[in-house]
Homo-oligomer: A and B are copies of this chain.
């Protein structure tokens, strides 16, 4: 996996320059990096930020959120995009903040996806898994890498994947067929795998979906990188709160060694 092996993330305070509800309970939050007092490193797809959703001693843990996009990183006025689903109090407070509010960020953290060296890649996103994979697709567009993106959602009202703005091929599907094609992300991806040759598969989504995609990829002998989710405290490798079992009896430290892992390292579990 590529990315920040050394801890290079720093703490910064940024202004929200945009916050829109883009679907169901999904919000697109744009943060202005310009005013941030420290030079944040350019984030890579798959990396994340630890975001402080409220101030004060009463809110002690940050929330990990993937980078969904960056704009003009090397120019003044650059900004960071997060795609946030409102699922609990932390994400709810973040989504409720109005433009102009400030938010504390720590990052970019973790190791992101490794860019494919050659050939075509398959990107498979389930639900909010679209957040990092959309960023990945845009970065691949920059270097004219070939890919297909499958973005699956439960239904149309929680679907957000503006595929038209991407250069690569792609399909949006929903389990109930209420938007895009009817079907699951894994089902669609399996179809793509039958029709095309891929040199690499990238997956982010619910645990069961990633487990299934990994199985398909390993069977087809295609290298597969998965972005894991785990509840985090520190996000920087000091607390071991995010550790989950690896396939070789080892522990995977999701925040620091991950969140992106080669699928063969992962022991799939049922997270509650």
Chain A residues with a Cβ under 8 A of chain B = 56, 58-59
Contacts and interface: CB of A to CB of B under 8 A. Distances in A.
Contacts of A56: 58
Contacts of A59: 58
A56 B59 CA distance: 11
A67 B59 CA distance: 32
Copies in the complex: 2
A212 B59 CA distance: 44
Contacts of A58: 56, 58-59
A59 B56 CA distance: 11
A58 B56 CA distance: 10
Nearest to A57: B58
A167 B59 CA distance: 50
A56 B93 CA distance: 11
A40 B58 CA distance: 32
A141 B56 CA distance: 44
A96 to B, nearest CB: 11
3 contacts: A56-B58, A58-B58, A58-B59
A239 B5 CA distance: 56
A87 B58 CA distance: 19
A153 to B, nearest CB: 31
A8 to B, nearest CB: 33
A53 to B, nearest CB: 12
A112 B211 CA distance: 68
A219 to B, nearest CB: 48
A86 to B, nearest CB: 16
A110 to B, nearest CB: 29
A59 B54 CA distance: 14
A85 to B, nearest CB: 21
Nearest to A59: B58
A187 to B, nearest CB: 42
A56 B56 CA distance: 13
A59 B58 CA distance: 9
3 closest A-B pairs by beta carbon, nearest first, are A58-B58, A58-B59, A56-B58
A57 to B, nearest CB: 9
Nearest to A89: B56
A58 B90 CA distance: 13
A124 B58 CA distance: 40
